[in-house]
A and B are shown apart, each in its own frame.
Chain A
Amino acid sequence: MIASLTRDDRDAAVLITTLGVAIGLLMTAVGWGDPLAVHGVIVMVFCGGLLFLVARNLNAPLPGNDRLASYYDDPTRVGVLLALTWAVVGMVMGVWVASLLAWPDLRFDAAWSSFGRLRPVHTSGVIFGFGGNALIATSFHIMQRTSRARLPGQIAPWFVLLGFNLFCIIAASGYLMGVTQSKEYAEPEWYADIWLVVVWVAYFTLYIRTLARRNEPHIYVANWYYLAFILVMAVLHIVDNLAVPVSFSGVKSYSAFAGVQDAMIQWWYGHNAVAFFLTSGFLGMLYYFLPKRAERPIYSYRLSILSFWGITFFYIWVGSHHLLYTALPQWVQTLGVTFSVMLLVPSWASAGNALMTLNGAWHKVRDDATLRFMMVAAVFYGLSTFEGSFLALPPVNSLSHYTDWTIGHVHSGAMGWVALISFGSIYALTPVLWRREAMYSAKAVEWHFWLALSGTVIYVFAMWNSGLTQGLMWRTYAEGGTLRYSFLDSLVAMHGYYIARAFGGLLFLIGAMIALWNVVMTILRVPVLVPALDYPTESEAFEPAVPAE
């Protein structure tokens, strides 16, 4: 991989990693005695390792210019492997925390292994580690292919990918040490947040630069979804994480907002993270890989563009539905509810569009587990967006809120939609990236599909049941007007469901492990296909893109 870097690239890599080591050293020195120092060491090791890799090959033969006639896929390949690794890590943590709820002894009495510290490792691991890496990797692939142009440079993509993973590592290791600002999906402290802003700006610039040098006049709709994901996440991240560090030598900071204002900001961020991280970007994935794999164009391209503009607008005001029946002013709650209901229209338009694309190719869905991953993902997308709008209705919410129903809803979206579309895309992408004819084992893909589907269904059904039971038990009154059940009663009633949940999660985890094994075996064992037909068009100077006017 170093071999494809030019002299300038290698110099830049050395410079950046050296700078990273220096920053790590600084953090260690300044934050001695604080978790900040541990993170300093992690930064040093991470950047030092990269520096070593580059330096060792510094004088390796330089690449020829013929590399410019092909797409730059090295970062995409590493991104796919990182995504699957994070999937396994995040899901192991998920199974662990699920088991903790059923069998609390699994904590082994250590501070770092308490539920409150392990859970964010699970959520960040799957959302940012797995989802984020999958998004970055597929976006590198899609932006090059749909633009028919090579990435503009070789350092920027590595900076984005590795920088993002450094953020994930700092986040996960921080949680185990108790470093958190206690904001859902935004737990990392101020220094990690600043680093993510740097990485994200580089990501956005990289995307725009690639689009700017495109040889295909039309910008495919998937790119718009990815761009919305990058741009809006940047704004959300910055606003939600506005905080004042207690000191620059420690990890602790205080949010710039307080009380209900902070809650509003947090859920404005929280739900838009669902919208623009877990929906917009993955819809981009769906709109590229589903037509590609089914070998037929999207059913209504016009509709995909319209629902893009619909989703981008409606999502922005939905967040307050997380705070129904709280100190939030009533009218703000109503606003959130109204927009949550309206959101259903563009969401179902996308899900329907995906399924209609497959209409007429059902035999492919039957035969091809990869395509089936995408089909089921679209179905779960439709189901969980409906469930979301439904749960936002105040009467429903009064029953469902703070119960496991919410957890079930999140996981039907996260497992059924986000994870399945990512796995489907990775299976479609891997043979193309490594120039292999097909995956190592089609049977393993099939196994993964059924494991993932049954895991999701078991999980979601367990949570629906436990959530409804909880909600009903909490609102049942005895004749004297007192509550009929104590909280402990409801907890005991959950035990069976929690075991079922851990089991469903385990099935899903096994599936992810199979996926990682299958991808690795594809790289190692499947013979290379003679480089096939996958090149960018020549530079625009010689192949003028005809403006479509």
Chain B
Amino acid sequence: MTILVVLIPVALGLGLIGLAAFFWTLHSGQYEDLAGDAERILFDDDTPLIPARKTTLLPSPGGDMPATIAEDRTPS
């Protein structure tokens, strides 16, 4: 089964990527509020935050990327 020379490293590599991803999720606090996070997708139909508030749209210099929205409060 020489093919395992390919398959085992691939499987281990994927496993290590998974392990690294898990470490990252743990580190970045992805599991701090599972009850709330399960609920949050249910209200992603937000009230129209942007139209409701005094917002001005800045021209985006670099094409599409910076969806910058300036408004009358101090950025932190």
> What residues of chain A have their CB less than 8 Å away from a CB belonging to chain B?
6, 8-9, 64-66, 68-69, 145-146, 148-150, 152-154, 216-220, 231-232, 235, 239, 257, 261, 264-265, 268, 288, 291-292, 295-298, 301-302, 305, 309, 312-313, 316-317, 328-329, 332, 531-539, 541-542, 544, 547-549
Total residues of chain B contacting the partner, CB 8 A: 52
Which of B18, B35, B57, B64 lies in contact with A9, CB distance below 8 A? B64
A538 touches B18 (CB 8 A): no
5 additional A-B residue pairs with CB within 8 Å, beyond A297-B41, A537-B49, A542-B75 = A8-B64, A9-B63, A219-B30, A288-B41, A547-B28
A301 touches B38 (CB 8 A): yes
The CB with the most chain B CB atoms within 10 A, among A152, A153, A264, is that of A264
B11 touches A316 (CB 8 A): yes
Which of B37, B64, B70 lies in contact with A154, CB distance below 8 A? B64
Q: Which residue of chain B is the closest to A145 with respect to CB atoms?
A: B44
B54 smallest CB distance to A (angstroms)? 12
Q: Which residue of chain B is the closest to A69 with respect to CB atoms?
A: B50
B14 smallest CB distance to A (angstroms)? 6
Residues of chain B within 8 A (CB-CB) of A532 are: 45
Expressed in whole angstroms, the Cα–Cα distance for A231 and B11 within the complex equals: 12
A293 smallest CB distance to B (angstroms)? 10
Expressed in whole angstroms, the Cα–Cα distance for A265 and B2 within the complex equals: 11
B20 located at the interface, meaning its Cβ lies under 8 Å from any Cβ of chain A in the complex: no
A242 smallest CB distance to B (angstroms)? 9
Residues of chain B within 8 A (CB-CB) of A145 are: 41, 44
Expressed in whole angstroms, the Cα–Cα distance for A534 and B40 within the complex equals: 14
Q: Which residue of chain B is the closest to A236 with respect to CB atoms?
A: B10
Which of A65, A216, A291 lies in contact with B57, CB distance below 8 A? A65
> What residues of chain B have their CB less than 8 Å away from a CB belonging to chain A?
1-3, 6-7, 10-11, 14-15, 17-18, 22, 25, 28-35, 37-42, 44-51, 55, 57-60, 63-71, 73, 75-76
Residues of chain A within 8 A (CB-CB) of B17 are: 231
A218 touches B7 (CB 8 A): no
A220 touches B34 (CB 8 A): no
Q: Which residue of chain B is the closest to A65 with respect to CB atoms?
A: B57
Query: How many A-B residue pairs lie within 8 Å, measured between CB atoms?
Result: 144
The 4 A-B residue pairs whose C-beta atoms are closest, nearest first, are A301-B38, A297-B38, A261-B3, A68-B67
A268 touches B7 (CB 8 A): yes
A105 smallest CB distance to B (angstroms)? 43
Which of A218, A261, A539 lies in contact with B2, CB distance below 8 A? A261
Expressed in whole angstroms, the Cα–Cα distance for A235 and B6 within the complex equals: 12
Which of B33, B57, B65, B73 lies in contact with A218, CB distance below 8 A? B33
Residues of chain A within 8 A (CB-CB) of B30 are: 218-219
The CB with the most chain B CB atoms within 10 A, among A235, A317, A532, A548, is that of A548
Q: Which residue of chain A is the closest to B73 with respect to CB atoms?
A: A542
A6 touches B41 (CB 8 A): no
Q: Which residue of chain B is the closest to A331 with respect to CB atoms?
A: B1
18 A–B pairs (Cβ distance < 8 Å), ordered by A: A9-B63, A64-B57, A69-B57, A145-B41, A217-B28, A220-B41, A232-B14, A239-B6, A257-B3, A261-B3, A295-B42, A309-B18, A328-B1, A531-B48, A533-B47, A534-B46, A537-B49, A542-B69
A534 touches B58 (CB 8 A): no
Q: Which residue of chain A is the closest to B17 with respect to CB atoms?
A: A231
B69 smallest CB distance to A (angstroms)? 5
Q: Which residue of chain B is the closest to A238 with respect to CB atoms?
A: B10
Q: Which residue of chain B is the closest to A264 with respect to CB atoms?
A: B3
A549 touches B1 (CB 8 A): no
B45 touches A539 (CB 8 A): no
B37 touches A301 (CB 8 A): yes
Expressed in whole angstroms, the Cα–Cα distance for A329 and B3 within the complex equals: 12
Which of B25, B33, B51, B65 lies in contact with A219, CB distance below 8 A? B25
Which of B10, B34, B68 lies in contact with A539, CB distance below 8 A? B68
Q: Which residue of chain B is the closest to A151 with respect to CB atoms?
A: B64
Which of A8, A232, A531 lies in contact with B63, CB distance below 8 A? A8
Expressed in whole angstroms, the Cα–Cα distance for A6 and B61 within the complex equals: 12
Which of A220, A296, A301, A313 lies in contact with B15, CB distance below 8 A? A313
A451 smallest CB distance to B (angstroms)? 30
Expressed in whole angstroms, the Cα–Cα distance for A549 and B58 within the complex equals: 32
Expressed in whole angstroms, the Cα–Cα distance for A381 and B58 within the complex equals: 48
B63 touches A6 (CB 8 A): yes
B68 smallest CB distance to A (angstroms)? 6
Whether A150 contacts B67 in the complex (CB less than 8 A), given A295-B42, A297-B38, A332-B1, comes out as yes
Whether A313 contacts B2 in the complex (CB less than 8 A), given A146-B44, A216-B40, A297-B38, comes out as no
Whether A265 contacts B3 in the complex (CB less than 8 A), given A239-B10, A301-B37, A542-B71, comes out as yes
